[in-house]
Amino acid sequence: MIMSRRILSFNESTPAFTGLYGGDIYCDNKCDINNMKKLISTAISIELTEKQRYCITEFYYNNRKMKDIAVELNVAPSTVSRHIERGMKKLKRAACYYSRFSS
């Protein structure tokens, strides 16, 4: 599975959150964008395990390679990939939940 380096577009001029549905979530205004940012931030801190949170943060936000994260954690790169994949599934569920109840 090839993972994109860009999960979320937090650029206010681009009203989309890429990757959480396997497509885009379009928000029409800054309030929706800010609510989604808060949701993702909360989901990262509450829903993810410590290792999932660390791997996702390092990979997506700090642009580190899975191989480098694996060396630091003393695990195989496939383990880092698995932490990221499972964490992303949790974040996708949180985004789906948000979109159902915020419309």
pLDDT tens for 4-53 read: 444 444 444 444 444 454 445 555 566 677 777 777 888 888 889 999 99
Contact yes or no for 89/49 (Cβ under 8 A): no
With respect to residue 7, please indicate whether it lies within any of the assigned structural domains: no
Q: Is residue 6 assigned to a domain? A: no
pLDDT in tens, 55-95: 999 998 899 999 999 999 999 999 999 999 999 998 888 77
The single-letter code of the amino acid at 54 is Y
| CATH number of the domain within which 34 lies | 1.10.10.10
- Please indicate, yes or no, if residue 56 is contained in any of the structural domains: yes
Domain count, the chain: 1
Residue 9 belongs to a domain? no
Whole-prediction pTM value? 0.66
Is 73 contained in some domain? Answer: yes
Torsions phi, psi of 24, nearest 5?
-115, 150
33 within a domain of the structure (yes/no): yes
Domain that holds residue 69: 16-101
30-41 burial: b if 16+ Cβ within 10 Å, else e: eebbeebeebbe
